[in-house]
Amino acid sequence: MYVTKYKIVKPGRDGSIYDDYLIALPDREQMAKLNKEMPVFIRYLQTITEAEGRQEEFKEFVTRCKNGLQVETDMYVTTDELLAIMWKNGYSDEERATLQATFPVEQKFHYPELSALFDIPEEDTYKFCYRTRVEKSHIGELDEGKLKRQGLIRDHWLMFGLGAYLFKCYPTYNYYFVVKGFGTAMWLYTNWVLANRWIYKSLARNEYMAKQKTAQGVMEGESKIMEAMARFGNDSNAVNYLKAFKGEAQTKLTDYRQSILNAQKAQVSNRAAKQLQSISNYEGQMANQLQEMMVQETGAAFKSMAQDDDVQRAFLKASIAALSGGKMENDPITREFASAMQQLEGADLMTVIGNPNGSIVERVAAAQQSREHEFQKSFMVTQAEAQEVRELANQASSGGDYDFSKLSEDAQSRLEGLYKSINEKVGFYTPAISTKSIPSTGDSAAQQYIAGVNSEIEASNKALQHERLSVFCKAF
């Protein structure tokens, strides 16, 4: 530590001493210098120069500060002093508030910064900063190399020579005193001064490095604290978010139920439309097959009559008459076809007893009744299926309700199968509305919770199944 004449303690630094500027009045080259980094000031200066149209001056200043701005350590004004100067010179409250909000109170504006900020020559800003520091009786840092005399060892031995010359004029002069005593004392004093300088430099260097390390640790700690605080920056809004989440969840659930209903409605409509289209296609196919079947059955009936001698003679006569140029009358084929059409015209194919080997009407009726039976089996609920549902419902009947646990596993499977097949016949969509169970985990505490949830899911699925099958059985 370096102590001034006023007993004011200042931080020691190798190659620097401190003195009162008002008393010392040091020259410019005698002042200590430093390289200053100032990213905040450069951003502020860019805004000012763009507003005033001084972009070229800003580029020159940035080029000068590329490796740090070299300035005299104590040639500055503080933020408060600069704000007072701006107020005296008529700057607006907005300009001073902007400066105050940008820079901290302990910010030091050196004379090159003031020159670039206010577009004033550096010589004038240097003199102003010097005067400000002198008026404050500032204890500033000076360059020791520019103030102290050089040649320590030379001065010591000049003192030894002068002392030896003076001592020989006195009676106390002798060889042992001058050479051994005085010479050894001067040698010890020189070594003591040099050792003191080396120790002081070492201590100052170590202290500076310790301060840098401590400052770095403090900065890292502050950064970690800020990062930790940033992670919990929104914790104060957790309650508000939770309240908002309740409303959002209710809205989402309402929309979700509505979307499920719309999807189920669309699926029911699509399934019914497809079933009706299938019925329409099947009926059209039956009509086309009826025409084709009438022709085929008429031909088959004629072929069965072709072995009759009377039919052959009638066909031969009609053919001879046609070859002789006359009209072909009493043609067996035409007569048989006309007769079949007359028989089919007034016949009810669903009431006529069908016979595959009988008359044309019986043959067509047999084929039509077979297709009608197939149609009913594919698109209608048969009496056997309805009766089977009633029997299973009677087995599960319990008072005014149903208890399907009374049914065996085969009976329950058959009832589920009838439920699915009958609904598919009539074109009714049957969605799967059961909920799957949650798989188990290795955590015992979680497993207990999962078991409780699965039991609730199983009870819900059973209730849904009971309601579904009850409505189905009551329909029969």
280 inside domain: yes
38 shares its domain with 127: yes
436 DSSP 8-state letter: P
Rounded Cα gap, residues 75 and 109, in angstroms: 8
Query: What is the residue-wise DSSP string for 346-396?
Result: T--TTTSPP-TTS-HHHHHHHHHHHHHHHHHHHHS--HHHHHHHHHHHHHH
- Choose the final residue of a domain: 202, 227, 252: 227
The model scores a pTM over 0.75: no
CB atoms inside a 10 Å sphere around CB 234: 10
- Choose the final residue of a domain: 81, 115, 147: 147
85 shares its domain with 219: no
H-only helix segments in 380-443: 383-396, 409-425
Q: For the chain, which ranges sit under pLDDT 50?
A: none
232 inside domain: no
Strand ranges (DSSP E) for 98-250? 108-110, 139-143
167 inside domain: yes
Hey, what are 55's tokens?
């972009």
Domain encompassing residue 285:
240-379
Rounded Cα gap, residues 4 and 465, in angstroms: 97
Q: Which long-range contacts (CB under 8 A, 24 or more apart) does 361-365 make?
A: 363/297, 363/300, 363/301, 364/290, 364/293, 364/294, 364/297
- Choose the final residue of a domain: 325, 345, 379: 379
Hey, what are 387's tokens?
């009766």
256 inside domain: yes
pLDDT of the residue at 202: 84
pLDDT of the residue at 335: 63
What is the count of structural domains for the chain? 4
Structural contact between residues 10 and 18, judged by C-beta atoms closer than 8 angstroms: yes
34 shares its domain with 103: yes
30 inside domain: yes
233 inside domain: no
392 shares its domain with 467: yes
213 shares its domain with 350: no
186 shares its domain with 112: no
Rounded Cα gap, residues 358 and 370, in angstroms: 15
Count of CA atoms in the C-beta half-sphere (13 A) of 473: 26
256 shares its domain with 375: yes
Hey, what are 164's tokens?
């030896």
- Per-residue pLDDT of 407-428, as tens digits, reads 788 887 887 777 777 777 666 6
219 shares its domain with 245: no
Residue with tokens 């350590």: 73
167 shares its domain with 277: no
389 shares its domain with 362: no
Structural contact between residues 434 and 461, judged by C-beta atoms closer than 8 angstroms: yes
396 shares its domain with 271: no
120 shares its domain with 253: no
267 inside domain: yes
pLDDT of the residue at 453: 78
H-only helix segments in 136-182: 144-147, 152-167, 175
pLDDT of the residue at 115: 92
Residue 38, helix vs strand vs coil: coil
Rounded Cα gap, residues 270 and 391, in angstroms: 32
pLDDT of the residue at 233: 67
Residue 334, helix vs strand vs coil: helix
234 inside domain: no
- Per-residue pLDDT of 34-71, as tens digits, reads 888 888 888 899 888 988 888 899 999 988 888 888 89
Beta bridge partners of 31: 142
Structural contact between residues 389 and 399, judged by C-beta atoms closer than 8 angstroms: no
Spell out a b/e string for 125-143, using b for 16 or more CB atoms within 10 Å of the CB, else e: bbebbbebbbeeebbbbbb
Structural contact between residues 22 and 134, judged by C-beta atoms closer than 8 angstroms: yes
Rounded Cα gap, residues 11 and 2, in angstroms: 7
